[in-house]
Amino acid sequence: MSKVIKRIYLDYAATTPVDPAVFRAMKPYFTEKYGNAGSVHSFGQEAIAAIDSSRETIAKALGANFNEIIFTGSATEANNLVLQGVVMLQKQFQPEFRSGAKIPRIIISSIEHESVLATARALSNYGVDVVVLPVNNEGVINLEKLKKALTSETTLVSVMYANNEIGVIQPIKEISKIIAEFRKANTITDYTKGPFFHTDAVQAFQYFDVKVKELGVDFLTVSAHKIYGPKGIGALYARLPALRSYRLMPILHGGGQEYGLRSGTESVPSIVGFGKAIELAVKVREKEIKRVRTLRDFLWAELKKIYKDAELNGPALRSERLPNNLNVYLPREEAQYFLTKLDKLGIAASSGSACAARSLEPSYVIQALGYSDSRAKGSIRFSLGRGTTLSELKRALVLMQRAKK
Catalytic residues: 355
* Helix, strand, coil % in the chain, rounded to nearest 5: 40, 15, 45
Q: What is the DSSP string of 214-246?
A: HHT-SEEEEESTTTTS-SS-EEEEE---TT---
Give CA–CA dist 8/56, Å, rounded: 36
Give CA–CA dist 215/212, Å, rounded: 5
The order of strands in the sheet holding 325-329 is 311-312, 325-329, 379-383
Cβ distance 108 to 199 under 8 Å? Answer: no
Give CA–CA dist 147/98, Å, rounded: 26
Give CA–CA dist 83/85, Å, rounded: 6
For 123-163, strand residue ranges (E) read 129-133, 154-158
Helix axes 75-93, 114-124, angle to 10 degrees: 30
Cα–Cα separations (whole angstroms), residue 192 to 50, 248, 249:
32, 9, 12
Closest CA to 141 of 178, 185, 104, 181: 178
- Residue 168 has what DSSP assignment? B
* Dihedral angle over CA of 279, 284, 286, 292, nearest 10: -130
Q: Is the peptide bond before 269 cis (omega within 30 degrees of 0)?
A: no
Closest CA to 84 of 45, 116, 39, 37: 116
List the alpha helices (DSSP H) in 15-68. 20-26, 28-31, 42-62
Give CA–CA dist 263/272, Å, rounded: 18
